[in-house]
Amino acid sequence: MTPRFPAATSDDVLRVARKLGFEFSRQAGTSHAVYKRDTDNRRVVVHIHSGKTIKRKTLLSIIKDLGITIDEFRDLM
């Protein structure tokens, strides 16, 4: 049985990204923030829509960009 996929907002994703060492790089308009980690040149784009839950497919893509598993993401939330 697969564990339930986490529901997350952009604030949740940004909190996890900061815990993993990502730092704010720039923002494109008002809805997309780019975070980078210098140690391995990873970057992640987070869609900023306050209070709204990120769609599952988008969240899965962001989790892959962070370089972690769904379980690790859930633990860091």
Name all domains of the chain by residue range, CATH numbers in brackets.
Answer: 10-76 (3.30.920.30)
The pLDDT score that the predictor gives to residue 31 is 84
pLDDT tens digits for range 25-74: 888 778 889 999 888 888 999 888 878 888 888 899 999 999 998 888 88
- Burial code (b: 16+ CB inside 10 Å, e: under 16) for 12-46 equals bbbebbeebebeeeeeeeeeebebbbeeeebebeb
| Full-model pTM | 0.83
